[in-house]
Amino acid sequence: TFQTPTIPENITVLEAVASGRYSVHRASMASAVLRLPSFRRIAKADIVEAERVLELVGMSHLRNEIATSLPLGMRRMLEVARAVIAEPRVVLFDEVASGLDEDELERLADLIRVLRDAGATVVLVEHNFRLVLSLADEIVVLAQGQVIATGDAATIEHHPRVLSEYLGVKSGDEDALLEEIGAVDHQTSEVK
Protein backbone atom coordinates (compact mmCIF):
# COMPACT_ATOMS: atom_id res chain seq x y z
CA THR A 1 0.00 0.00 0.00
CA PHE A 2 1.07 3.60 -0.49
CA GLN A 3 1.54 6.49 1.95
CA THR A 4 -1.02 8.34 -0.15
CA PRO A 5 -3.80 6.00 -1.29
CA THR A 6 -3.85 5.45 -5.05
CA ILE A 7 -7.37 4.60 -6.14
CA PRO A 8 -8.70 4.85 -9.71
CA GLU A 9 -11.27 7.58 -10.36
CA ASN A 10 -15.00 6.95 -10.83
CA ILE A 11 -15.25 3.43 -9.42
CA THR A 12 -17.22 2.30 -6.40
CA VAL A 13 -15.71 0.98 -3.20
CA LEU A 14 -16.91 -2.51 -4.17
CA GLU A 15 -15.31 -2.27 -7.62
CA ALA A 16 -12.06 -0.97 -6.12
CA VAL A 17 -11.81 -3.90 -3.72
CA ALA A 18 -12.78 -6.43 -6.41
CA SER A 19 -10.00 -5.04 -8.63
CA GLY A 20 -7.51 -6.48 -6.15
CA ARG A 21 -8.49 -9.94 -7.39
CA TYR A 22 -7.16 -9.34 -10.90
CA SER A 23 -3.79 -10.75 -9.92
CA VAL A 24 -5.39 -13.90 -8.47
CA HIS A 25 -7.05 -15.23 -11.63
CA ARG A 26 -5.95 -15.39 -15.22
CA ALA A 27 -8.80 -14.14 -17.38
CA SER A 28 -7.70 -13.40 -20.91
CA MET A 29 -8.15 -9.97 -22.45
CA ALA A 30 -10.39 -11.50 -25.12
CA SER A 31 -12.71 -13.10 -22.54
CA ALA A 32 -12.96 -9.78 -20.69
CA VAL A 33 -13.63 -7.69 -23.81
CA LEU A 34 -16.14 -10.20 -25.19
CA ARG A 35 -17.66 -10.76 -21.72
CA LEU A 36 -17.47 -14.52 -22.22
CA PRO A 37 -19.15 -16.80 -19.65
CA SER A 38 -15.77 -17.71 -18.14
CA PHE A 39 -15.03 -14.03 -17.50
CA ARG A 40 -18.51 -13.38 -16.08
CA ARG A 41 -18.08 -16.28 -13.62
CA ILE A 42 -14.75 -14.85 -12.47
CA ALA A 43 -16.17 -11.32 -12.17
CA LYS A 44 -19.13 -12.58 -10.13
CA ALA A 45 -16.82 -14.50 -7.79
CA ASP A 46 -14.67 -11.36 -7.42
CA ILE A 47 -17.72 -9.33 -6.36
CA VAL A 48 -18.77 -11.97 -3.82
CA GLU A 49 -15.26 -12.03 -2.35
CA ALA A 50 -15.09 -8.21 -2.35
CA GLU A 51 -18.35 -8.06 -0.39
CA ARG A 52 -16.91 -10.51 2.16
CA VAL A 53 -13.75 -8.44 2.57
CA LEU A 54 -15.74 -5.20 2.86
CA GLU A 55 -17.70 -6.79 5.69
CA LEU A 56 -14.41 -7.83 7.31
CA VAL A 57 -13.05 -4.25 7.22
CA GLY A 58 -16.34 -2.72 8.36
CA MET A 59 -16.99 -0.90 5.08
CA SER A 60 -19.86 -2.86 3.56
CA HIS A 61 -22.21 0.10 4.07
CA LEU A 62 -19.97 2.10 1.69
CA ARG A 63 -19.99 -0.48 -1.13
CA ASN A 64 -21.74 1.82 -3.66
CA GLU A 65 -19.89 5.04 -2.77
CA ILE A 66 -17.33 6.44 -5.19
CA ALA A 67 -14.02 5.24 -3.74
CA THR A 68 -12.12 8.50 -4.21
CA SER A 69 -14.83 10.41 -2.30
CA LEU A 70 -13.96 8.65 0.95
CA PRO A 71 -11.99 10.42 3.68
CA LEU A 72 -8.27 9.59 3.91
CA GLY A 73 -8.60 7.03 6.71
CA MET A 74 -11.26 5.09 4.83
CA ARG A 75 -9.24 5.21 1.60
CA ARG A 76 -6.33 3.68 3.51
CA MET A 77 -8.60 0.90 4.77
CA LEU A 78 -9.84 0.42 1.21
CA GLU A 79 -6.26 -0.16 0.06
CA VAL A 80 -5.74 -2.67 2.84
CA ALA A 81 -8.92 -4.45 1.73
CA ARG A 82 -7.52 -4.58 -1.82
CA ALA A 83 -4.35 -6.13 -0.42
CA VAL A 84 -6.31 -8.71 1.60
CA ILE A 85 -8.42 -9.81 -1.38
CA ALA A 86 -5.31 -10.33 -3.55
CA GLU A 87 -4.09 -13.13 -1.25
CA PRO A 88 -0.49 -11.88 -1.35
CA ARG A 89 2.60 -13.73 -0.15
CA VAL A 90 4.28 -10.45 0.85
CA VAL A 91 2.68 -7.11 1.74
CA LEU A 92 4.56 -3.87 2.31
CA PHE A 93 2.62 -1.30 4.32
CA ASP A 94 4.19 2.16 4.17
CA GLU A 95 2.85 4.43 6.94
CA VAL A 96 -0.58 2.85 6.55
CA ALA A 97 -1.74 3.95 10.03
CA SER A 98 -1.21 7.64 9.33
CA GLY A 99 -4.49 9.53 9.57
CA LEU A 100 -6.49 6.66 11.09
CA ASP A 101 -8.63 7.09 14.19
CA GLU A 102 -8.60 4.55 17.06
CA ASP A 103 -11.39 2.39 15.60
CA GLU A 104 -9.69 2.33 12.19
CA LEU A 105 -6.35 1.47 13.85
CA GLU A 106 -7.98 -1.47 15.59
CA ARG A 107 -9.51 -2.71 12.32
CA LEU A 108 -6.16 -2.20 10.58
CA ALA A 109 -4.37 -4.27 13.20
CA ASP A 110 -6.99 -7.01 12.82
CA LEU A 111 -6.54 -7.01 9.04
CA ILE A 112 -2.78 -7.22 9.28
CA ARG A 113 -3.22 -10.19 11.61
CA VAL A 114 -5.58 -11.81 9.05
CA LEU A 115 -2.91 -11.42 6.37
CA ARG A 116 -0.19 -12.78 8.65
CA ASP A 117 -2.35 -15.71 9.80
CA ALA A 118 -3.09 -16.54 6.14
CA GLY A 119 0.65 -16.98 5.62
CA ALA A 120 1.62 -13.62 4.16
CA THR A 121 4.85 -11.95 5.15
CA VAL A 122 3.99 -8.44 6.33
CA VAL A 123 6.56 -5.65 6.21
CA LEU A 124 5.31 -2.66 8.17
CA VAL A 125 7.07 0.71 7.79
CA GLU A 126 5.40 2.67 10.55
CA HIS A 127 5.91 5.40 13.15
CA ASN A 128 2.98 4.32 15.33
CA PHE A 129 5.01 2.75 18.15
CA ARG A 130 2.04 1.08 19.82
CA LEU A 131 0.81 -0.49 16.55
CA VAL A 132 4.25 -1.88 15.72
CA LEU A 133 4.68 -3.32 19.21
CA SER A 134 1.29 -5.01 19.04
CA LEU A 135 1.82 -6.63 15.63
CA ALA A 136 5.45 -7.35 14.92
CA ASP A 137 7.22 -10.62 15.55
CA GLU A 138 10.55 -9.02 14.67
CA ILE A 139 11.26 -5.29 14.70
CA VAL A 140 14.11 -3.43 13.02
CA VAL A 141 14.45 0.19 14.10
CA LEU A 142 16.25 2.73 11.91
CA ALA A 143 17.51 6.19 12.77
CA GLN A 144 19.21 8.37 10.17
CA GLY A 145 19.23 5.36 7.81
CA GLN A 146 21.13 3.16 10.25
CA VAL A 147 19.86 0.13 12.16
CA ILE A 148 19.88 1.02 15.86
CA ALA A 149 18.00 -1.97 17.27
CA THR A 150 16.47 -5.30 16.32
CA GLY A 151 14.39 -7.70 18.35
CA ASP A 152 10.92 -8.58 19.52
CA ALA A 153 8.46 -6.10 21.03
CA ALA A 154 9.69 -6.67 24.59
CA THR A 155 13.26 -5.90 23.55
CA ILE A 156 12.42 -2.84 21.47
CA GLU A 157 9.98 -1.18 23.87
CA HIS A 158 12.70 -0.87 26.51
CA HIS A 159 15.67 -0.25 24.22
CA PRO A 160 17.31 2.99 25.43
CA ARG A 161 18.41 4.18 21.99
CA VAL A 162 14.97 3.58 20.46
CA LEU A 163 13.28 5.45 23.29
CA SER A 164 15.76 8.29 22.97
CA GLU A 165 15.63 8.60 19.17
CA TYR A 166 11.90 8.17 18.64
CA LEU A 167 10.30 9.27 21.86
CA GLY A 168 12.83 11.73 23.30
CA VAL A 169 13.19 9.74 26.50
CA LYS A 170 16.27 10.08 28.66
CA SER A 171 17.63 7.08 30.51
CA GLY A 172 15.50 6.36 33.58
CA ASP A 173 12.29 7.89 32.15
CA GLU A 174 11.31 4.84 30.07
CA ASP A 175 8.60 3.38 32.31
CA ALA A 176 6.75 6.68 32.75
CA LEU A 177 6.72 7.30 29.00
CA LEU A 178 5.61 3.79 28.08
CA GLU A 179 2.77 4.05 30.57
CA GLU A 180 1.82 7.48 29.19
CA ILE A 181 1.60 6.29 25.58
CA GLY A 182 -0.26 3.18 26.67
CA ALA A 183 2.32 0.73 25.36
CA VAL A 184 2.60 -1.24 28.60
CA ASP A 185 0.16 -2.13 31.36
CA HIS A 186 2.43 -2.15 34.40
CA GLN A 187 -0.01 -4.18 36.46
CA THR A 188 0.23 -7.09 34.03
CA SER A 189 3.47 -6.12 32.23
CA GLU A 190 1.75 -6.86 28.92
CA VAL A 191 1.98 -4.84 25.74
CA LYS A 192 -1.42 -3.34 24.94
pLDDT single digits (tens) 1-19: 555 667 888 999 999 999 8
Containing 110, the helix (H) or strand (E) segment is: helix 102-117
In this prediction the pTM is 0.71
Please give the pLDDT value at position 174: 57
Average pLDDT of 101-114?
A: 88
Average pLDDT of 40-64?
A: 92
Please give the pLDDT value at position 181: 57
Q: Which amino acid is at 88?
A: P
Q: Which residues of 93-132 are buried (b: 16+ CB within 10 A; e: fewer)?
A: bebbbebbeeebbebbbebbeebeeeebebebebebbbbb
Q: Which amino acid is at 92?
A: L
